[in-house]
Amino acid sequence: MPPRKSSILLTEIRQRLDAGEWRPGDMLPDERSLAASFGVARNTVRKILAELESDGLIERHVGRGTIVSQRPDMQFAGILDNFLDASPIDILNLRIFIEPFTAEAAARHASASELEAILAAGAKAAEATEIARYEFWDNEFHKRIYQAGHNAFLADFFDLLAILRYQLPMMELRRRAFTEERRAEYSREHAEIATALTNWDGKTAARAMRDHLLSRRRNYFGQ
């Protein structure tokens, strides 16, 4: 059989999978049907299905047939969409869960220069009376703590959180809650976190970070 027909069949099945014509969990036509539809031998269909299986696009089960797999890229896209649509309180609760451990890691792994950078960002935030400048330096303070934990995955995760931080619902919430009294309160909390970090005290850093984020939640949501 000319290679061209085999290539056409492979391309056709891939396109149907990409278009969502066959969804994860759906059953593909059997080998006999595919062979008849494309005018190829069943052993050609079998080889193509084996290639698709090796790519993780389908699963073949004896007695059950060929089933479309849940594709990792589709799973990731769905997870990312859900994350970007998350409510401000869900995002803050996620930070309350993660960031104390990040602060503890930073207390163990931060270099002297990283600690200086964290202290500098905290000082800049404490000086900022205008919301946009404060938000920038507050973001930098937390970002530098993530980076000082020396976990590349967590550092990238913070960059994703930062995207959410500057989306309209979150920024409107932060603007409404921004007062001079609260800025001073957050600055004191930042200082407590920074002191624990410079003392290499992971437990205190974690506790101070959690208290800081709980303070944010009370101010934003009354919880």
Asked whether residue 50 falls in the same domain as residue 91, the answer is no
Asked whether residue 62 falls in the same domain as residue 116, the answer is no
Q: Is residue 78 part of a domain?
A: no
Answer with the one of 18, 39, 70 that is the final residue of a domain: 70
* Residuewise pLDDT in 10s, the chain (223 residues): 455 677 888 888 888 888 778 888 888 888 888 888 888 888 888 888 888 888 888 888 877 788 888 765 555 566 666 777 778 898 899 999 999 999 999 999 999 999 999 999 999 999 999 998 999 999 999 999 999 999 999 999 898 888 887 777 878 888 888 899 999 999 999 999 999 999 999 999 999 999 999 999 999 998 8
* CATH classification of the domain holding 66: 1.10.10.10
How many structural domains is the chain composed of? 2
Asked whether residue 138 falls in the same domain as residue 213, the answer is yes
Among candidate residues 116, 148, 133, 115, the one with its CA nearest the CA of residue 183: 133
pLDDT at residue number 27: 87
Asked whether residue 56 falls in the same domain as residue 149, the answer is no
Asked whether residue 144 falls in the same domain as residue 64, the answer is no
Q: Is residue 81 part of a domain?
A: no
Asked whether residue 92 falls in the same domain as residue 194, the answer is yes
Q: Is residue 103 part of a domain?
A: yes
Asked whether residue 62 falls in the same domain as residue 130, the answer is no
The CA-atom distances, in angstroms, between 81 and each of 86, 164, 180 are 9, 12, 35
Among candidate residues 187, 165, 174, the one with its CA nearest the CA of residue 220: 174
DSSP, collapsed to helix, strand or coil, labels residue 27 as: strand
Asked whether residue 194 falls in the same domain as residue 136, the answer is yes
The CA-atom distances, in angstroms, between 18 and each of 5, 15, 21, 68 are 20, 5, 8, 11
Asked whether residue 105 falls in the same domain as residue 208, the answer is yes
Q: Is residue 80 part of a domain?
A: no
Q: Is residue 75 part of a domain?
A: no
Contact between 73 and 30 (Cβ < 8 Å)? no
Asked whether residue 61 falls in the same domain as residue 168, the answer is no
Answer with the one of 70, 94, 122 that is the final residue of a domain: 70
Structure tokens at 97: 């869960």
* CATH classification of the domain holding 180: 1.20.120.530
Asked whether residue 131 falls in the same domain as residue 161, the answer is yes
**Helices marked H in the chain:** 3-19, 31-38, 42-54, 72-84, 88-109, 112-127, 131-148, 152-165, 168-176, 180-198, 202-221
pLDDT at residue number 1: 46
Q: Is residue 181 part of a domain?
A: yes
Contact between 72 and 80 (Cβ < 8 Å)? no
Asked whether residue 45 falls in the same domain as residue 129, the answer is no
The whole-angstrom separation of Cα 99 and Cα 216 is 13
By residue range, what is the domain housing residue 34?
Answer: 3-70
Answer with the one of 46, 70, 94 that is the final residue of a domain: 70
Burial class (CB in 10 A: 0-12, 13-18, 19+), 44: buried
